[in-house]
Structures are given as C-alpha cells and as structure tokens.
Structure 1
Amino acid sequence: MTERPFLFLDVDGPLIPFGSPSGHLQTAVAGSSMSPDEGNPLLQRLDPGLGARLMALGCQLVWATTWMEEANETVSPRVGLPRLPVVQWPRFRADEGPRGLHWKTRPLVEWTDGRPFIWIDDEISAMDRLWVEASHPGPSLLHRVDPIEGLTNADFRMLSDWVCAVTRTRA
C-alpha cells in the first residue's frame, strides 16, 4: 500500500479568512503575547466543519504555520481535528534559495522526503512552484488560497481531484 500524501496546512488566510463582512482586510494575532482564546477575534471565523472535510481527503495532515503548537491547542478543537504533527521551522536565512522563494518551501520539501504532498497557504508564488517542480521528485500541489475567502468548496473539489489522481496512479 502506498503512503498517503502529506497535506501541509497554514492557518491565517486558508483556515481563518481575513475578509470581513464590511469588506475590510483584518489580521490575526498568532505569536502575540495574548492568549489566542482571548486576543484573536478572528477565531470565530473558523468553520467547525473544516476538520472533517480535510480528514476526508485521506491525506496525512500536518500543521505548516507560524502558530506552531498553538494550532493544536487553539485551532484543532475548533475545527474538529485531532492533534497533528507540526513542522518545526529552521532559522530563516535570506540567502537560501532563489529570490522570491517562500521561507516555508524548502523545509516542507525536506519534510516529505520525496512523498506526494499538498501545501495549502495564501502566500504561495510562481517561484515556489518552480522550485518544488525542480527539487521534489514526487507529485505535489501547491495550492494558494485567497486569504479573503479562506478554503472554499471549489478548493476542496480541486484538492480531492488531485488526491484521487495521485493515489490512483501510485496504486
């Protein structure tokens, strides 16, 4: 049996959309000294059904966010996810990789060790896609989510189609 693809999840933007009913962009407070429960009014934007939809994709879910372990303590219970592995980010070095490469890209590819993966984030660029295509031997989907809307039904259809295609070809 083939191993399930990894699915790397960012929180701010994909799971907590920044768009407000008034149309103004808002920001989250991850990493602040305030408790996320008390200091982040955007947590109410988390969709409690997201966890079931993400788990139904059949991937191995991994937090790929600056929330780090806070994602397990604050986000997971609100969206119905169990505790997930968390990518531990190495110290950032501006001289690593080509200009425009996101600081998460290299560590995520290293984490996969060649296995198929999806990366869901609102900061993915063309440079990230090019670098992964050249550096990662397995299938990958770098899926940029509109941070105003967060994950949508269309996003889930695309993710599901990709997982079905990859698992069908690797079986």
Structure 2
Amino acid sequence: MKPLVLVDIDGVLNPFGRPSADFRRYRCVLDGEVYMVHLNPRHGTWLLELAVRAGAELVWATTWEHHANAWISPRLGLPRLPVIRVPHQEAGEAGEMFKTPHVAEYVKGRPFVWFDDLLFAGDERYLRDHPEVGDFLLVQVAPDRGLTRRHVDLAAEWLTLSGFSQGP
C-alpha cells in the first residue's frame, strides 16, 4: 500500500512566530475573510522530494480543506492534493483533537506520516486504538517555527526503515 504524507498548514507551513527571511508573505481571502500567511517555497520542494523518495501520496489534513489547493499549493509549487475533510468540532473523549477521527477514517490501514502542530498523546492513543489505522508516525511541528528539514528527514527515514517506502 502506498504510504501517505498528511500535511497541516497553520503552524506547519504557515508558522505563527516571526518567520525567517526564507518565507514570503501572502494576503489570502477565504470566504470573505482576509488572512496573512507566510510560506517558504522550500517546503514545497521538500514535500515533493519526500513523496517521490518514499513513493508516498501527499494529502492535505488542514482546516483550509479545498482552499489549500487554491491558495497554498500554487505558492509552494505543489500539485492539487487530495483533502481530508476536517470540520471543526470539540476534542474527543480520549483527548484527541478534532482532526484525528477524520484522519483515522481516511487512511484505511495505509501507513502514514502526519505533520501537524497539534498532535499529542491523546491523538496517538486514538490512532493506535482505531481498527482502521495501521502504522504511522506523528511529527509534532513547533507552531512558532514551522516545518524544518529535520522533520522531513525524520519522515523519510521512518518510511524507509519501516519498509513502507515505495520510491526509486
């Protein structure tokens, strides 16, 4: 089964802290709301390299949902990606965040890496206990800094050493 690489935007590709000079500032309008996002074009390159190297499929796991393909993908040089619908709701009884049940349903036993800034012990417990979830790696990204090369390398190493890599 082809592994998945799930990607969040806010706090991962769009850090909340003061971005470095590598980031570009964009004004996005979503459903009449104006957002300022800071994006690093290298993130797109890193994610594409990871997908090719691991033979993985990139997937948006973000509240931006399909807006990610309109606003984020083109600015990072990414193609249109599949989207996991993650409507806002309360955290679950196991302490998992609102996205986690939707991720569990989407992966259907495929191995996956998930880059997010809101992953905690409750999310790991929920995923380990869910019957539709196989092997996974949760990569907690510091929201003030965003995705780093170290995060991507960690994901590549896990996919390769775990035998999930489908790449060349």
- Is TM > 0.5 for Structure 1 vs Structure 2? yes
- Normalising by structure 1, report the TM-score: 0.80
Query: By how many angstroms is 1:32 displaced?
Result: 5.7
CA contact (8 A) 1:9 1:64 kept: yes
Superposed CA deviations along residues 107-130 of structure 1, whole A, max 9, x for unmatched, are 101111111011111011111111
CA contact (8 A) 1:29 1:40 kept: yes
Residue in structure 1 matching 2:44, options 40, 43, 51: 51
Q: Which amino acid aligns with 1:80?
A: G
Describe the shift of the 1:82–1:21 C-alpha distance in structure 2 as closer, same or farther (beyond 3 A).
Answer: closer
Q: Which structure dedicates a bigger proportion of its chain to strand?
A: 2
Query: By how many angstroms is 1:41 displaced?
Result: 2.7
Q: Distance in 1 between matches of 2:35 and 2:164?
A: 41
Counterpart of 1:20?
Answer: 18
Query: By how many angstroms is 1:31 displaced?
Result: 5.3
Superposed CA deviations along residues 13-56 of structure 1, whole A, max 9, x for unmatched, are 1001111169xxxxx9885623xxxx3332xx211121121121
What is the percent sequence identity of the aligned residues?
37
Describe the shift of the 1:62–1:140 C-alpha distance in structure 2 as closer, same or farther (beyond 3 A).
Answer: same
CA contact (8 A) 1:30 1:66 kept: no
- Gaps of at least 5 residues in structure 2 are 21-26
- Normalising by structure 2, report the TM-score: 0.81
Counterpart of 1:7?
Answer: 5
Query: By how many angstroms is 1:166 displaced?
Result: 2.5
Q: Distance in 1 between matches of 2:107 and 2:133?
A: 10
Matched, 1:149 2:149: no
Counterpart of 1:167?
Answer: 163
Counterpart of 1:33?
Answer: 32
Describe the shift of the 1:33–1:129 C-alpha distance in structure 2 as closer, same or farther (beyond 3 A).
Answer: same
Counterpart of 1:74?
Answer: 71
CA contact (8 A) 2:2 2:164 kept: no
Structure 1 runs, 4 residues or longer, greater than 6 Å off: none
Q: Distance in 1 between matches of 2:47 and 2:19?
A: 25
CA contact (8 A) 2:4 2:110 kept: yes
Describe the shift of the 1:86–1:128 C-alpha distance in structure 2 as closer, same or farther (beyond 3 A).
Answer: same
**Structure having the higher Rg:** 1
Q: Distance in 2 between matches of 1:54 and 1:98?
A: 33
Query: By how many angstroms is 1:80 displaced?
Result: 0.8
RMSD across aligned positions (CA): 2.6
Describe the shift of the 1:120–1:21 C-alpha distance in structure 2 as closer, same or farther (beyond 3 A).
Answer: closer
